[in-house]
């Protein structure tokens, strides 16, 4: 039992968006089924949910919904659960000897809360200082996308992105800030449409106040 959540009810864990692990919780046999087998199983189970709700699955509008949802879950929303979809974070020698901060702002974040399976939508901002390696800008976007495409907790997502970039770039000088809206907050429960959730992970030189302030100033610039 994780010490963070051991004294809480399942509702308290969900409503407070808590998780006790940096790794996505996966069973040992998570990839025993093929993607098509997963789609077939989810299709049957989602049809049962719709039946339980009293929907008429013979209606032209609804008859294909279970299969559409199943394909969406496996091939799109949760494709980041499959390690075969992990992007290759190709790096290059820093031949330009660029030794300043590199910042990529406003990367789209489209994920789903693992407590309610409702969307998390927002932006990620990533920065690093080269330790001799640089990474293609599109690869940063793909790293964000890969870890977002799974049932998530925002704190975990932030750390997973940072750790992946540390490993790829062989540097501790990484900063990740994520700013999102959680549909499980805006459409249910408290139904707060105005608040957003901000998480951050700093390491290496970004733990220094001056470097961190420079990074945050770049995020607020109107370019």
CATH number at residue 211: 3.30.1130.10
Burial letters 94-127, b for 16+ CB under 10 A, else e: eeeeeeebeebeebebebbbbbbeebbebbbbbb
Domain that holds residue 194: 91-220
Domain's final residue, options 85, 100, 127:
85
The mean pLDDT of 176-197, rounded to a whole number, is 94
pLDDT higher than 80, residue 90: yes
pLDDT higher than 50, residue 223: no
Examine the domain organization and report whether 56 and 128 are in the same domain. no
Q: Which of 113, 125, 152, 164 is catalytic?
A: 113
Average pLDDT, the chain: 92
Examine the domain organization and report whether 202 and 95 are in the same domain. yes
| Count of domains forming the chain | 2
Q: For 195-217, what is each residue's pLDDT tens digit?
A: 999 999 999 999 999 999 999 99
In this prediction, residue 20 carries a pLDDT of 63
Examine the domain organization and report whether 99 and 187 are in the same domain. yes
Quick check: is 23 in a domain? yes
Cβ atoms of 16 and 184 within 8 Å: the answer is no
Cβ atoms of 218 and 175 within 8 Å: the answer is no
Q: Which of 152, 164, 182, 201 is catalytic?
A: 182
pLDDT higher than 70, residue 185: yes
Q: For 75-89, what is each residue's pLDDT tens digit?
A: 999 999 999 999 998
12 is catalytic: no
154 is catalytic: yes
Examine the domain organization and report whether 195 and 108 are in the same domain. yes
Examine the domain organization and report whether 165 and 102 are in the same domain. yes
Least confident of 8-17, 136-145, 211-220: 8-17
Examine the domain organization and report whether 191 and 125 are in the same domain. yes
In this prediction, residue 59 carries a pLDDT of 98
In this prediction, residue 17 carries a pLDDT of 47
Q: For 30-58, what is each residue's pLDDT tens digit?
A: 999 999 999 999 999 999 999 999 999 99
Examine the domain organization and report whether 64 and 131 are in the same domain. no
pLDDT higher than 60, residue 161: yes
115 is catalytic: yes
pLDDT higher than 60, residue 6: no
Q: Which of 115, 125, 152, 160 is catalytic?
A: 115
Tell me how far apart the alpha carbons of residues 115 and 97 are, in angstroms, rounded to a whole number: 45
116 is catalytic: yes
């Amino acid at each position: 039992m994780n010490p963070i959540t051991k004294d809480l009810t399942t509702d308290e864990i969900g409503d407070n968006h808590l998780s006790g692990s940096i790794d996505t919780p996966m069973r040992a046999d998570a990839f025993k089924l093929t993607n098509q087998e997963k789609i077939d199983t989810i299709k049957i189970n989602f049809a049962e949910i719709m039946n339980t709700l009293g929907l008429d699955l013979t209606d032209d509008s609804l008859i294909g919904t279970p299969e559409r949802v199943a394909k969406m879950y496996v091939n799109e929303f949760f494709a980041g659960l499959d390690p075969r979809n992990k992007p290759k974070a190709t790096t290059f020698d820093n031949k330009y000897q660029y030794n300043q901060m590199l910042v990529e702002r406003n990367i789209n974040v489209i994920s789903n809360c693992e407590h309610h399976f409702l969307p998390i939508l927002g932006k990620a901002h990533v920065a690093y200082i080269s330790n001799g390696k640089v990474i293609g800008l599109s690869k940063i976007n793909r790293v964000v996308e890969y870890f977002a495409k799974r049932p998530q907790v925002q704190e975990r997502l932030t750390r997973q992105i940072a750790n992946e970039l540390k490993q790829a770039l062989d540097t501790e000088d990484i900063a990740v800030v994520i700013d999102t809206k959680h549909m499980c907050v805006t459409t249910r429960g408290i139904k707060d449409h105005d608040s957003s959730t901000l998480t951050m992970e700093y390491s290496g030189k970004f733990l220094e106040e001056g470097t961190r302030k420079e990074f945050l100033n770049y995020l607020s610039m109107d370019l």
